[in-house]
Amino acid sequence: MIRFDAVSKRYPGGGEALSEVSFHLARGEMAFLTGHSGAGKSTLLKLVAGIERATRGQIVVDGENITRLPRRRLPHLRRKIGIIFQDHRLLYDRTVFDNVALPLVIDGLGHREIARRVRAALDKVGLLGKERLNPVVLSGGEQQRVGIARAVVARPPLLIADEPTGNLDPELSAEIMALFCRFNEVGVTVLVASHDLGLIRRLGRRILRLDHGRLVDDGRPGAAA
Ligand SMILES: Nc1ncnc2c1ncn2[C@@H]1O[C@H](COP(=O)(O)OP(=O)(O)OP(=O)(O)O)[C@@H](O)[C@H]1O
């Protein structure tokens, strides 16, 4: 589902954020991406989503080489990817329902289909019944779950999350990670960046580790990083 071949990324005026990174995440697989602050976790996820472009190397997502994807093809790529940010980026002048519905409204779906899918997504994250509320009144963990519902509502085959538990206490963090595991169990490919090694080790999934832009462990036994 995601393949990086010797990918490097240099920001204008900066050093190398990623250096010669190669790995493969198979369809249906789940992995965590870890490393110190500034190791390159966010940069790697942004390259997957086409938010940033690689300086060198090649990136394939869902069988499509996105390394030099023309801008007009970006919406096609984004439709395959549910993206979850640490700060959840919700719209606070709209209800929970409207926040989750947004990707479907953009896709031009009809009202009834939108209502059905939004309720299904809210049900999966345990927020059915809160759809008419404004996200402001929800706890941090609930707001993050609204962000997750919005990311999965269009049923993308790939979920990527950047420090989704960064602002949450250990118990809520574990709940959010368990949610990602459940999406993976029904076939979604999942890649989650997190510096919370203790938490992600307990989940027993593959862990890719970045150190100063280099992939020093790709989480595969015996595989060279
Ligand atoms: N837009 C940018 N312009 C210039 N340099 C950047 C930009 N974004 C990130 N960097 C640099 O690239 C390197 C990797 O940053 P990145 O945000 O990918 O790391 P990270 O592992 O996600 O860190 P954190 O855990 O703190 O979010 C850092 O040195 C950072 O300063």
Atom of ligand 1 at shortest range from CA of 193? 22
Q: What range defines the domain where residue 34 resides?
A: 1-80+159-225
Residue 61 has pLDDT above 50, yes or no: yes
Residue 49 has pLDDT above 60, yes or no: yes
In this structure, the residue with its CA closest to atom 3 of ligand 1 is: 11
Which residue, of 103, 120, 155, is where some domain finishes?
155
Question: Is the torsion defined by CA of 88, 125, 32, 6 positive or negative?
Answer: negative
Q: How far is the CA of 10 from the centre of ligand 1 (A)?
A: 10
User: What is the tally of structural domains in the chain?
Assistant: 2
**Is residue 43 a contact partner of residue 8, using CB atoms and an 8 Å limit?**
no
Q: How far is the CA of 158 from the centre of ligand 1 (A)?
A: 23
Segment 122-160, tens digit of pLDDT: 999 999 999 999 999 999 999 999 999 999 999 999 999
67 and 96 inside one domain: no
pTM equals 0.94
CA angle 97, 103, 107 (to 5 degrees): 125
151 and 170 inside one domain: no
Tokens of 66: 């996105």
Which residue, of 155, 186, 204, is where some domain finishes?
155
214 and 198 inside one domain: yes
148 and 184 inside one domain: no
Is 17 a pocket residue for ligand 1 (Cβ < 6 Å)?
yes
Helix axes 140-152, 111-124, angle to 10 degrees: 130
178 and 208 inside one domain: yes
69 and 1 inside one domain: yes
211 and 188 inside one domain: yes
Share of the chain above pLDDT 90, in %: 88
The whole-angstrom separation of Cα 98 and Cα 116 is 13
Query: CA–CA distance from 173 to each of 52, 84, 159, 186, 219 (Å)?
Result: 28, 14, 17, 21, 22
113 and 142 inside one domain: yes
> Which pLDDT belongs to residue 214?
98
Q: Tell me the pLDDT band of 178, cut-offs 50, 70 and 90.
A: very high
The whole-angstrom separation of Cα 32 and Cα 124 is 21
Segment 4-29, tens digit of pLDDT: 999 999 999 888 999 999 999 999 99
116 and 69 inside one domain: no
Residue 225 has pLDDT above 50, yes or no: no
Of 18, 41, 195, best ligand 1 pocket probe by most atoms within 8 Å of the beta carbon: 41
> Which pLDDT belongs to residue 167?
79
Query: CA–CA distance from 148 to each of 7, 96, 130, 195, 201 (Å)?
Result: 28, 12, 14, 19, 22
Which residue, of 136, 155, 174, is where some domain finishes?
155
68 and 171 inside one domain: yes
7 and 62 inside one domain: yes
Give the CATH number for residue 13: 3.40.50.300
151 and 163 inside one domain: no
Task: Report the number of secondary-structure helices (H) and strands (E) in the chain.
Answer: 7, 10
Atom of ligand 1 at shortest range from CA of 9? 12
Q: How far is the CA of 126 from the centre of ligand 1 (A)?
A: 33
Is 34 a pocket residue for ligand 1 (Cβ < 6 Å)?
no
In this structure, the residue with its CA closest to atom 18 of ligand 1 is: 40
